[in-house]
């Protein structure tokens, strides 16, 4: 029995040493991935780790018998096999655009900025009042396709007589990619101005949602683009500049994050290659233009399920078990690397408050009761833009205010159309600028 126990202890010790050696080589590989920024699809890091492991195995086996010299190579072989999975693409590396939508034609417009964007047009209904000023929708993302849920809402506005246009920002949806270094918040604003010029209909009304609201806010602070705007609706905006992005404030009423059932479907983050790439990018250890995963490959790999609780956070806690399907798998498109770069350029940008204070475009702010956005992101717009004429605090909805549940689409449309037609607001003007301190103190 003592002999068996000794053998078992030795075997356990060897196994632990082997596992420790494997873990060490995996860490060396990950460190090399960071230091080389994933060069050569991770091959440079893989060869580095393999070389270090081989040298260590040769050194450990230098005084052993011929057969025993092979034992130190076992951890090297295991680690090489594990880390090789990070270097091998499992999806096409060339861009795969979503197929055409069955209910609206996709046009592609080349803008003066060099961007080529996918455009969707919903003409106004042929009966009833028609509104002469075009309405342009800018979706969130920042670099994401327009969801089917949003398309349905745009169709609703068109049925009410609005001539609705929407485009997917460069790199998102069916739009062409840009070189990674060209994804900036400033480029997004220039693209907006170029799109309105390409439309050629004079001034337009704008509805900007989430990060689209950020682009619209910054457009209001840019006199060259603001001159093309008739009215502006900023819905649930993100941070408009660096100082706003650094505010650590509270959010709205509880959302469904952590309460809703987990999203089903394949996840790229369950694949070692993309789990490492997206995880290190999110931590800031890899650049968005990393050599590990190309932009097109990352777009092809990312799925709706990868958003996880981010989708649930766009709905109120009371709706946790009835969150609608926002998009189809065939239409879903999200560029994690390009989105991260646009967000970083926003965080690195100086304050736009001095320019925003000179804005004269009539504007409206929409805030959701269960918003997942930091409240100061919205109140900074309200405080900084003297042309914000009304604020509509939307009860019973989360960040995605038009979502097909109950009468939420009707209420959102009523708020939008009342402002565009300069009619009395269906909801109280709240919060006003004077209400901001009390609004934030009440943590609404």
Q: Are residues 61 and 174 in the same domain?
A: no
Q: Are residues 72 and 124 in the same domain?
A: no
Neighbours of 165 (CB within 10 A): 21
Q: Are residues 320 and 432 in the same domain?
A: yes
Per-residue confidence (pLDDT) for residue 248, from 0 to 100: 85
CA 325 distance to own-chain centroid: 17
Short-list 366, 298, 364, CA closest to 337 = 298
Neighbours of 422 (CB within 10 A): 9
Bridge partners of 390, per DSSP, are: 364
Q: Are residues 229 and 145 in the same domain?
A: yes
Q: Are residues 19 and 137 in the same domain?
A: no
Q: Which of 28, 53, 84 is the last residue of a domain?
A: 84
Q: Are residues 356 and 209 in the same domain?
A: yes
CA distance 342 to 334: 13
Per-residue confidence (pLDDT) for residue 67, from 0 to 100: 60
Q: Are residues 205 and 353 in the same domain?
A: yes
Handedness of CA 223, 229, 232, 234 (dihedral sign): negative
Per-residue confidence (pLDDT) for residue 9, from 0 to 100: 60
Give the number of domains in the chain: 2
Q: Are residues 58 and 144 in the same domain?
A: no
Per-residue confidence (pLDDT) for residue 145, from 0 to 100: 97
CA distance 235 to 221: 17
| Domain region containing 31 | 2-84
Per-residue confidence (pLDDT) for residue 58, from 0 to 100: 82
Per-residue confidence (pLDDT) for residue 288, from 0 to 100: 93
Per-residue confidence (pLDDT) for residue 69, from 0 to 100: 66
Per-residue confidence (pLDDT) for residue 264, from 0 to 100: 85
- pLDDT tens column, 15-67: 777 788 888 889 999 999 999 999 999 999 999 999 998 888 788 766 666 66
CA atoms within 13 A on the CB side of 365: 29
> Looking at residue 429, which CATH number applies to its domain?
3.40.50.1820
Q: Are residues 386 and 250 in the same domain?
A: yes
Per-residue confidence (pLDDT) for residue 12, from 0 to 100: 65
- The residue ranges of the chain whose pLDDT is under 70 are 1-2, 4-14, 61-69
Q: Are residues 234 and 160 in the same domain?
A: yes
Q: Does residue 221 lie in a domain region?
A: yes
Q: Are residues 395 and 354 in the same domain?
A: yes
Q: Are residues 115 and 64 in the same domain?
A: no
Q: Does residue 93 lie in a domain region?
A: no
């Amino acid at each position: 029995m003592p002999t068996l126990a000794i053998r078992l202890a030795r075997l356990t010790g060897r196994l632990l040493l082997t596992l420790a050696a494997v873990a060490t080589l995996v860490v060396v590989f990950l460190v090399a991935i960071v230091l080389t920024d994933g060069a050569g699809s991770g091959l440079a890091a893989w060869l580095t780790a393999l070389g270090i492991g081989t040298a260590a195995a040769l050194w450990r086996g230098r005084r052993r018998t011929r057969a025993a010299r092979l034992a130190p190579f076992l951890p090297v072989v295991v680690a090489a096999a594990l880390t090789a999975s990070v270097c091998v693409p499992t999806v096409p590396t060339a861009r795969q655009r979503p197929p055409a939508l069955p209910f609206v034609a996709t046009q592609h417009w080349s803008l003066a900025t060099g961007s080529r964007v996918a455009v969707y047009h919903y003409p106004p209904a042929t009966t009833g009042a028609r509104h002469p000023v075009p309405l342009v929708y800018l979706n969130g993302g920042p670099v994401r396709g327009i969801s089917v849920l949003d398309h349905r809402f745009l169709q609703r506005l068109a049925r009410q007589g609005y001539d609705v246009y929407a485009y997917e920002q460069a790199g998102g949806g069916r739009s062409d990619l840009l070189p990674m270094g060209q994804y900036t918040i400033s480029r997004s604003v220039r693209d907006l101005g170029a799109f309105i010029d390409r439309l050629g209909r004079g001034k337009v009304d704008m509805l900007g949602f989430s990060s689209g609201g950020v682009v619209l806010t910054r457009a209001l602070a840019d006199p060259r683009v603001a001159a093309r705007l008739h009215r502006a609706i900023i819905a649930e905006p993100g941070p408009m500049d660096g100082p706003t992005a650094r505010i650590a404030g509270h959010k709205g009423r509880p959302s469904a994050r952590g309460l809703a059932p987990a999203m089903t479907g394949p996840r790229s983050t369950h694949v070692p290659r993309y789990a490492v790439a997206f995880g290190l990018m999110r931590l800031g250890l890899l650049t968005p233009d990393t050599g590990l995963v190309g932009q097109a490959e990352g777009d092809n790999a990312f799925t709706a399920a990868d958003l996880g609780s981010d989708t649930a956070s766009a709905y109120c806690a009371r709706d946790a078990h009835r969150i609608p399907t926002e998009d189809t798998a065939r239409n879903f498109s999200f560029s994690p690397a390009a989105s991260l770069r646009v967000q970083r350029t926003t965080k690195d940008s100086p304050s736009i408050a001095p320019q925003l204070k000179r804005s004269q475009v009539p504007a409206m702010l929409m805030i959701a009761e269960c918003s997942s956005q930091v409240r100061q992101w919205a109140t900074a717009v309200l405080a900084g833009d003297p042309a914000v004429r009304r604020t509509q605090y939307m009860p019973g909805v989360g960040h995605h205010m038009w979502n097909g549940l109950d009468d939420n689409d009707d209420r959102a449309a009523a708020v939008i159309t009342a402002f565009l037609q300069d009619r009395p607001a269906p909801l109280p003007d709240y919060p006003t600028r004077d209400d901001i301190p009390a609004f934030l103190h009440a943590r609404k």
